[in-house]
Chain A
Amino acid sequence: MPGVPAHIGAFHTIGVDQLQLLLNALQSRGYRTIAPRIMDGAIVYSEIAKIEQLPVGVIDRQDGGTYRLEKVPTSGYFDYVVGPQSLKGYLFPPRETLLKSVRKNGDWQFTVPPVEAPPLAVLGVRSCDLHALAIQDKVFLGGPYVDPGYQARRQNLFLVAVNCRRAAATCFCHSMNTGPAARQGFDLALTELSPDFLIEVGSPSGGELVAELQLAPATPRQVEEGRVISDLLVAELQGRAAKASNEVSAPAESPGASGTTPPIRERFLDTTNIHGLLLGNLEHPRWQETAERCLACSNCTMVCPTCFCAAVEDVSDLSGDNVRRERAWDSCFTAEHSTMNTGTVRKTTASRYRQWLTHKLATWHEQFGTSGCVGCGRCITWCPVGIDLTEEVVAIRDHDGAKARNEV
Chain B
Amino acid sequence: MTTVLEHPTSASPWLSHAAHIVAIRNEVPGVATYDLVFDDPQRAASYRFAPGQFNMLYMPGYGEAAISISSDPTERGFLSHTIRVAGNVTQAIARQQVGGHVALRGPFGSSWPVNESRGRDIVFACGGIGLAPLRPAIYEVMNHRADFGRVIVLYGARTPSGLLYTNEFDTWRAKDIEIEVTVDIGDPEWHGHVGVVPLLFYQHRLQAHRTTVMTCGPEIMMRFIVFEALARKIQPEDIFVSMERNMSCAMGFCGHCQIGPHFVCKDGPVFNYRQAEPFFNVEDM
Contact = CB atoms under 8 A, between A and B. Distances in A.
A140 B14 CA distance: 13
A327 to B, nearest CB: 8
Interface residues of B, number: 47
Given A98-B14, A145-B252, A310-B248, A316 B7 contact: no
B119 interface: no
A interface majority secondary structure:
mixed
Interface stretch (A110-118, A161-169, A383-391): A110-118
A118 B64 CA distance: 30
Given A143-B251, A147-B253, A320-B61, A117 B3 contact: yes
A99 B15 contact: yes
A316 B61 contact: yes
A309 interface: yes
B116 interface: no
A346 B283 CA distance: 9
Interface stretch (A209-217, A235-243, A359-367): A359-367
Nearest to A310: B254
B277 to A, nearest CB: 12
Interface stretch (A12-20, A187-195, A245-253, A333-341): A333-341
Interface in B240-257: 244-246, 248-249, 251-256
Contact of A112 (B15, B253, B256, B285): B15
A119 B3 contact: yes
B103 interface: yes
B46 interface: no
Most-contacted residue by chain A among B2, B249, B251, B256 (CB, 10 A): B256
17 contacts: A99-B16, A103-B60, A107-B101, A112-B7, A114-B5, A116-B2, A139-B252, A143-B251, A155-B5, A279-B278, A309-B255, A309-B256, A313-B63, A314-B63, A345-B245, A348-B284, A408-B284
Given A103-B60, A114-B4, A308-B255, 20 more contacts: A30-B1, A99-B12, A110-B15, A111-B9, A115-B5, A115-B7, A117-B5, A119-B3, A139-B253, A143-B252, A143-B266, A146-B13, A148-B14, A156-B5, A310-B254, A312-B254, A336-B246, A337-B246, A358-B260, A367-B261
Closest 8 A/B residue pairs (Cβ): A309-B255, A351-B284, A366-B261, A341-B86, A363-B261, A101-B60, A145-B251, A112-B12
